[in-house]
A and B are shown apart, each in its own frame.
Chain A
Amino acid sequence: KNQVEQSPQSLIILEGKNCTLQCNYTVSPFSNLRWYKQDTGRGPVSLTIMTFSENTKSNGRYTATLDADTKQSSLHITASQLSDSASYICVVRTGTASKLTFGTGTRLQVTL
C-alpha cells in the first residue's frame, strides 16, 4: 500500500531559528516528490519538486533533500519567519497514471 508519513506532526520554533521536516514514503514506482505549503484555510502551494535523480533542491530559505534509496525526504527551513507558520505537506507521485499520495502534513508555528 502506498503511504507517506511525515514527522513531526507539529512543531513550534522561535523566529529566526532553523528547522527540518521529515517525509518517509513507500510509494512505488516513484515518479516525483513535492513539498507543499498550506496556509490555514487555503489550498496547498508547491514549494519544490524532487525527481529520482535529484538529491537537493533549494527555493529561497527552503531546501529539500531526497534519498531515493531509503525513500526519505526532508524540508529544511532556514532563518524562519512568522509567515512560515503553515502546514507542510509531502506529496509523492507514482510512476504510472496520475496517482498522488499525500502525507498528513507537519503543522509549523513560528513564534516571537
Chain B
Amino acid sequence: ETGVTQTPRHLVMGMTNKKSLKCEQHLGHNAMYWYKQSAKKPLELMFVYSLEERVENNSVPSRFSPECPNSSHLFLHLHTLQPEDSALYLCASSQDGGYLTTEAFFGQGTRLTVV
C-alpha cells in the first residue's frame, strides 16, 4: 500500500459512455499526476496538478477531463472514448517545492477497456 488509492481497479465502458476515475492520496502531498500506460510503451504523463492547479497538460484529447477539487483528490472524467484509449491509468502524488521534488508514489491503477 503506497498511500495512493485508485478506484475502480477495472472498468469496461462503451464508446458513448461517461465515466470517472478517482484517485485519493493520504500522504499530505501537494502534487498529483495522471499517467497512461499502454502495452509495450513507456508511461505517458497526461496531467499534472500542483496545489490544486493544473500546471501541465501534455496534449491530451479533450475526451479526457481532469478535476482536482482539493490536494487529496484527483479525478479523470471520461467521455466518448475510443478503443485505443484502453490502457492502465495510473495516478501518482509527490511533494513538490520549487525545484525539489520527492519521489512519486503511484496508485495501483485502473485497467480501462473501451469496447
Residues of chain B within 8 A (CB-CB) of A101 are 42
* B109 engages A98 (CB within 8 Å): no
Question: How far is B105's CA from A34's CA once the two chains are assembled, in angstroms?
Answer: 12
Which 7 pairs, one residue from A and one from B, show the smallest C-beta to C-beta distance? A43-B106, A102-B42, A102-B43, A42-B108, A98-B101, A104-B42, A43-B108
Known contacts: A93-B101, A96-B99, A98-B101. The answer to whether A43 contacts B92 by CB under 8 A is: yes
Chain B interface main SS type: strand
Known contacts: A89-B43, A104-B40. The answer to whether A43 contacts B4 by CB under 8 A is: yes
* A72-112 Cβ-contact flags toward B at 8 Å (1 or 0): 00000000000000000100010111101111110000000
Residue total for A at the interface (Cβ-Cβ under 8 A): 21
Question: How far is B37's CA from A105's CA once the two chains are assembled, in angstroms?
Answer: 11
Sample 24 A-B pairs with CB under 8 A, ordered by A number.
A34-B103, A41-B108, A41-B111, A42-B108, A43-B2, A43-B4, A43-B6, A43-B92, A43-B106, A43-B107, A43-B108, A44-B43, A44-B90, A46-B103, A95-B99, A96-B99, A98-B48, A98-B50, A98-B96, A98-B101, A101-B42, A102-B42, A103-B42, A104-B41
Question: How far is B35's CA from A89's CA once the two chains are assembled, in angstroms?
Answer: 14
Question: How far is B43's CA from A4's CA once the two chains are assembled, in angstroms?
Answer: 11
* B31 engages A98 (CB within 8 Å): yes
Residue total for B at the interface (Cβ-Cβ under 8 A): 26
Known contacts: A98-B96, A100-B45, A104-B41. The answer to whether A41 contacts B103 by CB under 8 A is: no
Nearest chain A residue, comparing its CB with the CB of B9? A41
Q: Which of B31, B41, B104, B108 has the most CB of A within 10 A?
A: B104
Chain B residues in contact with chain A, CB under 8 A?
Answer: 2, 4, 6, 31, 40-43, 45, 48, 50, 88, 90, 92, 94, 96, 99, 101, 103-109, 111
Nearest chain B residue, comparing its CB with the CB of A40? B88
Question: How far is B108's CA from A44's CA once the two chains are assembled, in angstroms?
Answer: 8
Residues of chain A within 8 A (CB-CB) of B4 are 43
